[in-house]
Amino acid sequence: MTGLPATIADHVATFWPQSQPQQPAEAPVPGSIAIVTAFFDINRGDWSQLTSDVSSKYRRSVDDYFANFDHLARVRNDLIVFTSPDLAERVLAHRRAHGLEHRTTIFAVDRLFDIATVRAALAAADAQMTEKFKDFVWRPSAPEYNKADYVVVNALKSTFALTAIEKGAVRAAQLAWIDFGYAARDGIVETDHEWTCDFGDKINLFAIFRLDQRHIYDIVRRSEVYIQGCHIVGPVTSWQRFNELMSEAFRALIACGLIDDDQTMLLMAYRAEPDSFILRRRRIDPDLDWRFIFKRFRAGSLPPDEELPDVPDKGQPDWFRDLKTVLRRRLRASVRSLMSARQKA
């Protein structure tokens, strides 16, 4: 059954630097962190329930993403970015504007979703997004239940990380995934000096609600989030097994006729092999919201775990929410059918 690719190294071209830097002979500095991220335009700026089942509240334009990226582009760490050839120069311009092009690697991937292994994952995800499945979930307008390219590009975080490692772009002791649009404002990213922190010998995941034993099918139906996908960090050697566990989680969802974004797959990976992870328990930060890793996890200041709250109660009986979901979807389908008939008239 289709899983996630380990790497896509054969399908990337180095856009920057134009000459490959000499790899240092000495061992990486303990606590050093390279950052990997990616951005591919999946036409999110056009999302609307007038044209698809995705709510317009999830709409983000390319300009929106790059406005956020300009804050991340100020980080003084090695930054590795995967993007499409048409956006590579724009990524470099943001790093160059902050005098950090010398700590930047940009890999251009032409037609990411046409790579055979990625295309197979895309088809597997898309096959789950049936009308019956959307009647099953409580948030049928969420992108993870409607847009296979959204699901897959998020699921590929460990693939991008392993590709960066295979291409020799990682010179630090640890590698962190940080979402391209992570920082929506100043004060989120560490910009005064290089971000360092010793995260230990395993992949670090960040839980914002207490982990329980709720069934995955119920978590998918309710669209619950236990573990964050926006930041993941661990030693370079830990990413291979992490990718395998994420691939197994993806396959397991497909085998059950389900699909969801990477946050549910992270929970599944942790449940499958908790000894492969360090689980950091942090409440949503009152000042930084979800995006607290740069300011709360720094050299010499690993914060203690916090007592986490339970996942919030939705406040309504399951059957009532299910009924509302079905009625809402039927109403939207009727409205779209009526609009289409009027356009043809």
pLDDT tens figures, 163-196 = 999 999 999 999 999 999 999 999 999 999 999 9
Across the range 136-161, mean pLDDT stands at 95
Q: Which residue has the higher pLDDT, 337 or 219?
A: 219
203 and 329 belong to one structural domain = no
Please check whether residue 3 lies inside any domain of the structure.
no
Across the range 245-258, mean pLDDT stands at 98
Percent of the chain whose predicted confidence (pLDDT) is above 70: 93
- pLDDT level of residue 301 (50, 70, 90 thresholds): confident
Report pLDDT for 139. Answer: 87
User: The domain containing residue 341 runs over which residues?
Assistant: 316-345
Q: What is the CATH number of the domain that holds 45?
A: 3.90.550
Query: What SS3 state is found at 206?
Result: strand
302 and 199 belong to one structural domain = yes
Please check whether residue 68 lies inside any domain of the structure.
yes
Report pLDDT for 321. Answer: 65
- pLDDT level of residue 25 (50, 70, 90 thresholds): low
Mean pLDDT of the chain: 92
CB 290 within 8 A of CB 101: no
Report pLDDT for 18. Answer: 85
Q: Which residue has the higher pLDDT, 47 or 337?
A: 47
Report pLDDT for 340. Answer: 78
283 and 341 belong to one structural domain = no
Please check whether residue 1 lies inside any domain of the structure.
no
How many Cα neighbours within 13 Å face the side chain of 13?
11
Please check whether residue 229 lies inside any domain of the structure.
yes
pTM for the whole thing? 0.92
